[in-house]
Amino acid sequence: MQVASGTLYATQQSIIAKLSAIGATSREKAVTAQEANLDMQEKNWLNYIAGGLFAIVKKTKDKRYYLTT
């Protein structure tokens, strides 16, 4: 289980870094996964990472993503 949690953490940090670099820091500035240049592994984990109430990465109804600050 540690390998899975390590992979999840690393993937989450990578997604956060890419969204931060592109400036997706609010709902108005949200971007698609393609605009954030996410790789296939990041896209596969994206729905899981962006799903929670206390998640740092949030998802809009039209499948754009942004960071909460």
Instruction: Dump pLDDT digits (tens) for 36-68.
Output: 999 999 999 998 999 788 999 999 999 999 999
Instruction: Assign residue 53 a region (left: φ > 0; alpha: ψ between -120 and 50; beta: otherwise).
Output: alpha
Q: Examine the pLDDT at 13 and tell me if it is beyond 80.
A: yes
Q: Which domain holds residue 32?
A: 2-67
Tally the domains of the chain: 1
Question: How many CB atoms within 10 Å of residue 38?
Answer: 21
- Residue 53: the pLDDT is 86
Q: What tokens appear for 54 in the block?
A: 């206390």
Q: How far apart are CA 3 and CA 56, in angstroms?
A: 22
Q: How far apart are CA 34 and CA 25, in angstroms?
A: 16
pLDDT band at 3 (very low <50, low <70, confident <90, very high): low
Residue labelled with tokens 């984990």: 45
